[in-house]
Amino acid sequence: MSLVNTNWLEKNLDKVKIIDCSWHMPQTQRNGFDEYKNKHIKNAIFFDLVKNSKKDTDLPHMLIDAKSWEGIVSNMGIKNDAQIVIYDNSDVISSCRCWYNFIYFGHDPSLVHVLDGGLKKWINEKKPTFNNLTNTISSNYTANEKKGLVKNKKQIDENINLNKFQVIDARSRERFEGKVPEPRKGLRSGSIKNSFCLPFSELINEDYTFISKEKILDKFKLIKIKPNKNVVFTCGSGVTASVLALAYSIIDIKYKPTIYDGSWSEYGNN
């Protein structure tokens, strides 16, 4: 159950840990934390996608080390057996990246959920919001890093010849085909050789909920994923790749989300 709906969350507010992981593309000039301070779901804790990523790199949103992750989650007051619901107020459904991070660092996937439709749907349904900062009591969280759930550039390059897994790109078709410039400076246009394109936006309805399981399956069938073939997702910086990973987990409950962490920010670097 990767997704939960707004009614379910409203009934279970006091039984789960709630995370606001709103992150916006730089060109939007929006600040997730400022918006969180103004309006969020009761008891929500803010997760800063930029601050909680690897520091000693120019690449955005790279996974941090396990010890740092333990400190971040412990400071949020989240325990290893906590049931977690993550939401966002972002056009790029950034909550899915936080979902992936928790699974990568060993949290039980059955306990990590994304709020379908996010804060937008919650507000549209006139459900209550708050502007007070949520108090937390530190825990002693322990990470269990699943290194097989991430790919690096060397593995991506080797796979072009070995073809051990299929690479699916969540960026727009225009970016994938190199018809428009990349939003980040210094990146060439184009895509990874032999990769496929499935824009994450095609899996999202107008109200920011995911399309139905049947429609998700149809979208992936168009890519002709081979039976028993591993699937690795990529995008610009590892955020919308996680949207595809979550969607794929809906149609394959045994799938363990696997991301090329550097994504095009690394691969397309001139």
Write the pLDDT tens digit of every residue in 233-256.
999 999 999 999 999 999 998 999
Question: Does pLDDT of 135 surpass 70?
Answer: yes
For residue 244, which of 201, 205, 214, 213 has the smallest C-alpha distance? 201
Question: Does pLDDT of 133 surpass 70?
Answer: yes
For residue 222, which of 253, 201, 242, 199 has the smallest C-alpha distance? 199
Question: Does pLDDT of 227 surpass 80?
Answer: no
Write the pLDDT tens digit of every residue in 52-88.
999 989 889 999 999 999 999 999 999 999 999 999 9
Rounded Cα distance between 39 and 5, Å, is: 19
Rounded Cα distance between 201 and 265, Å, is: 19
Instruction: Identify the structural domains of the chain with CATH numbers, from first to last.
Output: 3-124 (3.40.250.10), 147-267 (3.40.250.10)
Rounded Cα distance between 84 and 101, Å, is: 12
Alpha helices in 164-256 (DSSP H): 173-176, 213-223, 240-251
Write the pLDDT tens digit of every residue in 95-124.
999 999 999 999 999 999 999 999 999 999
Q: What are phi and psi of 59, to 5 degrees?
A: -80, 135
Half-sphere exposure for 220 (CA within 13 Å, toward CB): 25
Q: What is the mean pLDDT of the chain?
A: 95
Question: How confident is the model over 149-165, as a mean pLDDT?
Answer: 96
Give the 3-state secondary structure of residue 230: strand
Question: How confident is the model over 146-170, as a mean pLDDT?
Answer: 97
What is the structure's pLDDT at 228?
62
Structure tokens at 236: 């610009």
Question: Does pLDDT of 27 surpass 90?
Answer: no
DSSP-based helix, strand, coil % in the chain, nearest 5:
35, 15, 50
| Catalytically active residues, by annotation | 235
- Total residues belonging to the chain: 270
